Amino acid sequence: MTTNPIIIAVDGLAATGKGTIARRLAAHLDFAYLDTGALYRAVGVAVLKAGGDPADAQAAQKAALALNPSSVQALMDDPALRMPAASEAASKVAAVQDVRDALLKFQKDFAVHPPAGKKGAVLDGRDIGTVISPQANVKIFVEAASEIRAHRRFLELQGRGENVTEAAVLADMTERDARDASRATAPTKPADDAVILDTSDLSADQAFEKAVGIVEKKIK
């Protein structure tokens, strides 16, 4: 007999800190971790590499169907996925229903059958608590003020040697937020039973500690 794995959904907009929180939670609990944004980034980058337009639904669906789940882990570490062009392309392909459908099964399977015999899975994204795993044991929706998120992303890009201004980062982020939150399919929003975690005034360590507290309350 197998026991059901524990599923932790960490959703939120870009640069709220959700990725760091989710990754650290997975390490802390010894659970499997899936960065679902990387799937959309991989699809967006594949379309760009093929010379296509990420907003073209057909090109985006083709790239999503060609994504090989067994090579996903290697893809996640591709630095090309972290470039601003990848963020924009990902946000565009993510608005295409056929792309979301193509990526659905892999994500659901990962949550229900975490790899390497792990007892649970942490998935971070936009629609984990609402669409991928509405049955998740814990749902955290991470928020932060947009200026703070833009500042964090600016520092991150600058640290990688990118030539960007903070104003441009904020403008790109505002555009992407609007697309991610207003799209017809699986818009970014908290599940009714999600706990909101606002990281605006928290350090990374403080945000992680709060997330641990939320998890412990739910699964202990």
Binding site for ligand DC (CB under 6 A): 14, 36-37, 40-41, 87, 90-91, 94, 125-127, 176, 180
186: left (phi over 0), alpha (psi -120 to 50) or beta: left
Which residues, 6+ apart, have CB-to-CB distance to 88 below 8 Å? 44, 54, 172, 176
Minimum distance from residue 28 beta carbon to ligand DC (Å): 20
Minimum distance from residue 15 beta carbon to ligand DC (Å): 8
* Nearer of residues 66 and 213 to ligand DC, judged by Cβ: 66
Residue carrying the six token digits 């609402």: 130
Separation between Cα atoms, residue 61 and residue 181, nearest integer Å: 21
Percent of the chain that is helix, strand, coil (3-state, to 5): 60, 10, 30
* Nearer of residues 30 and 31 to ligand DC, judged by Cβ: 31
- Strand (E) or helix (H) holding 91: helix 84-93
Minimum distance from residue 98 beta carbon to ligand DC (Å): 13
Minimum distance from residue 163 beta carbon to ligand DC (Å): 21
* Nearer of residues 143 and 180 to ligand DC, judged by Cβ: 180
* Nearer of residues 24 and 176 to ligand DC, judged by Cβ: 176
